[in-house]
Amino acid sequence: MADEKATAEVEETTEAQQEQNVQQEQEKKEEKPQQDPQEFLDTFDWEKYEEGIEPVDDAKLQEFEKLVTENFVDTADEEVVEGTVTHMTERDAIIDINAKSEGVISLNEFRYNPDLKEGDKVDVLIDIREDKNGQLVLSHRKARTIMAWERINKSYDEELVVSGFVKCRTKGGMIVDIFGIEAFLPGSQIDVKPIRDYDQYVGKTMEFKVVKINHEFKNVVVSHKALIEADIEEQKKEIISQLEKGQVLEGVVKNITSYGVFVDLGGVDGLVHITDLSWSRINHPNEVVDLDQKINVVILDFDENKSRIQLGMKQLEKHPWDALSDEIKIGDKVKGKVVVIADYGAFVEVVEGVEGLIHVSEMSWSTHLRSAQDFVNVGDEVDAVVLTLDREDRKMSLGIKQLTPDPWTDITSKYPVGSRHEGIIRNFTNFGVFVEMEEGIDGLIYISDLSWTKKIKHPSEFVNVGDTIEVEVLELDVEGRKLSIGHKQVTENPWDKYEKEFALGTIHKAAITDMVDKGATIDFNEDITAFVPQRHLEKEDGKKLGKGEEAEFKIIEFNKDFKRVVASHTAVFREEEIRNVKQAQKKAAAAADEAKPTLGDANEALQALKKKMEGND
């Protein structure tokens, strides 16, 4: 029992010593310094190793490979890594990327960075891990491009603000350098307002936002306007929250249109309508304001979202009607400028912002109204008389004709009935002609008083506007301011003479002028046109007269009042037959007295002739 116990103690002691020895060996190994891999590379003779002159212990090679694995980076081809500039020559830069060998990059790739020096950190791309000479091939330019695209994509995805250098102008915009990549800046994306001079931005460094990327064609579009709009949007929200009606603000004229002016209130646009620019009438807003001009405006109204803001300029000044002198009263003579013309009258600006209306009826004493443009033009300086004045409703009516005497005052002495005058034809109507005797006095000639003989359907057949015509006063209505005149009355009525010349039963020679439905017409002279009924066109041989055929005609009706003349050709030869019958009757009677036996024969002849005449009738 004692022996077993002793044996066990000896075994435990042996195991403890063995464990202690292993631990000491391990501590010795840890205390042994590890060789620097770079030092090994510097002292190792690769030529002898390759020729087999200086063999290397396998254990040593395995230890070296372990050290390289632990200390050098493991990079793949076409991978961007960070390197350090360890040495620079006149042409190249030596770059250490912590690999098995260093790389060489031409200084041409660093032209953008003339301050490059040893110790600087640079991004490089491993183009070829080892060329035929065992050299590591690197590229800084390619690394910059790859990194630039990564940064651009990130900026686009995360909507980051990037800084870029404006290199030059191009068609439609600018070329901007972003991380070494050329991007396009459209002209419309430079600023929120239109840019006229692009050259002012060339050579400047500005902030942009990447708004579009075309990976297929490697195109990048940036915008500076987007950043401004974002700032404006923030300002706009703040400004809108503080807007109130009646608030006076300072703004800048952003745009001028024919209907008004858009004003920038510091990120928020408002519209001043053309009618709210000035108390006076204006034709275009550019008569009052200029582009980029600073102006004060008052807020008149806005919608619920305050997105449409109505502004005013004239409201900042006192209304001209409130400042109108109390000395102006009805009947006063005033001077003004014609600012607007309408068909019914003209508006005259008496003082700035105060207008009076001259109705067309107050421009002339004439009762025959014309357009206001016949009397005045826009821009004319005119004198007028104040007819009505309503300061409360801000209305004023003026008159021009009141500056001259009313021509109807002594009308009875100037134009008594029966007097003859000359006038100018001013206008036609279907029923007559208006003749201006003098300014303010118009007379009317009814169509029936234009000619004694001509049948006129419309006055334009007889006279023209602007002609001077001689007239006789037929009737005068002073109270109604109406003057009735006639033109035919200044000449003798030819029908008095024709009444004798073309008396009933007289025979005249003429040709058929025209054929109508119920007969024909013939012109005896320039005044007398007669009508021939169908049954009175029959000739002696039983045929009828045709157009252009000349013959004798007997007047069977003459009406001077209605200017109606009726003639007959048939009556001419029938009257001769009647005369022949009467002569035959006289001869028969005479023969009866001389020879009774022949009386019966004579009666038979007379009866036959009588029947013939009755048949013709």
Distant-in-sequence, close-in-space partners of 540: CB < 8 Å, separation ≥ 6 = 573
Judge if 171 and 215 occupy the same domain.
Answer: yes
CA dist 581 and 613 (Å) reads: 9
Task: Tell me what percent of the residues of the chain surpass a pLDDT of 90.
Answer: 12
- Statement to judge: residues 417 and 485 lie in one domain: yes
Report how far residue 566's alpha carbon sits from residue 572's, in angstroms, rounded to the nearest whole number. Answer: 14
> Is residue 458 located within the same domain as residue 521?
no
**What mean pLDDT is predicted for residues 300-308?**
76
Span 242-275, pLDDT tens digits? 788 888 889 999 899 999 999 988 778 889 999 8
pLDDT band at 528; cut points 50, 70, 90: confident
Q: What letter would DSSP give residue 137? A: E
The answer as to whether 344 is a domain residue is yes
**51 is a domain residue:** no
534-580, pLDDT tens digit by residue? 888 888 888 888 888 888 888 888 887 777 889 988 888 877 666 66
Residues 166 and 184 in one domain: yes
Gyration radius of the chain's alpha carbons: 61
Q: What are phi and psi of 289, to 5 degrees?
A: -130, 165
What does the pLDDT read at residue 204?
87
Residue 367 falls within a domain, yes or no? yes
Residue 39 lies in a domain: no
Nearest to 404 by CA among 389, 384, 422: 384
Indicate the pLDDT class of residue 234, thresholds 50, 70 and 90: confident
Whether residue 458 is contained in a domain is answered as yes
pTM for this entry: 0.40
Residues 465, 483 within the same domain: yes
- DSSP 8-state class, residue 135: P
For residue 57, tell me if it sits in a domain: no
Nearest to 446 by CA among 461, 455, 459, 436: 459
Arithmetic mean of pLDDT over the chain: 78
- Domain ranges, residue 20: 1-32
Q: In this structure, which amino acid lies at residue 144?
A: R
| Among the listed residues 212, 198, 220, 252, the one whose alpha carbon sits nearest the alpha carbon of residue 145 | 220
Could you give the CA distance from residue 536 to residue 555 in angstroms, rounded to a whole number? 11
What is the band of 3 on the pLDDT scale with cuts at 50, 70, 90? Answer: very low
Q: Tell me the C-alpha distance between 57 and 61, whole Å.
A: 6
Which pLDDT value is given to residue 576? Answer: 65
Looking at the fold, whether 129 and 197 belong to one and the same domain comes out as: no
CA dist., res. 266 & res. 250, Å (int): 9
The separation between CA 101 and the C-alpha centre of its own chain, rounded to angstroms, equals 74
Residue 9 lies in a domain: yes
How much is the average pLDDT of 335-343? 88
Same domain flag for 554 and 607: no
pLDDT reading at 235 higher than 60: yes
Domain identity same for 77 and 136: yes
Give tens-digit pLDDT for 78-136: 567 778 888 888 888 888 877 666 778 778 777 777 788 888 887 787 766 565 555 67
CATH number, domain of 392, equals 2.40.50.140
- Do 247 and 298 meet the contact criterion of CB atoms below 8 Å apart? yes
φ, ψ (nearest 5 deg) of residue 150:
-65, -40
Same domain, residue pair 486 and 501:
no
Q: Which of 107, 104, 108 is nearest to 126 (CA)?
A: 104
> Is pLDDT larger for residue 345 or for residue 55?
345
**Given 284, 316, 348, which residue is the final one in a domain?**
316
| Final residue in a domain of this structure, among 363, 386, 403 | 403
Q: 217 and 164 in one domain?
A: yes
C-beta of residue 308 within 8 angstroms of C-beta of residue 297: no
Reduced 3-state DSSP string for 29-68: HHHCCCCCHHHHHHHCCHHHHHHCCCCCCHHHHHHHHHHH
Enumerate residues 6+ apart whose C-beta is below 8 A from 48: 54
209 and 279 in a common domain:
no
Angle between helices 599-616 and 570-594 (to 10 degrees): 170
- Listed range (98-102, 246-250, 374-378, 431-435) with the worst mean pLDDT: 98-102
Residue 267: C-alpha distances to residues 243, 263, 270, 557, 606 (Å): 13, 10, 10, 96, 125
Q: What is the pLDDT of residue 279?
A: 83
Q: Confidence class of residue 526 from pLDDT cuts 50, 70 and 90?
A: confident
Strands 550-559 and 564-568, sheet pairing: antiparallel
One domain, residues 485 and 498: no
Quick check: is 293 in a domain?
yes
- Structure-model confidence comparison of residues 445 and 46, the more confident one: 445
The whole-number pLDDT of residue 74 equals 46
Domain count for the chain = 8
The conformation of residue 580, written as its DSSP 8-state character, comes to: H
Q: Which tens digits make up the pLDDT trace of 396-410?
A: 999 998 888 888 888
Choose among 392, 511, 498, 494: nearest CA to 452. Answer: 494
Task: Tell me how far apart the alpha carbons of residues 523 and 510 are, in angstroms, rounded to a whole number.
Answer: 7
Higher pLDDT pick, 305 / 272 = 272
pLDDT, one tens digit per residue, over 159-193 is 888 888 888 888 888 898 887 788 888 888 888 77
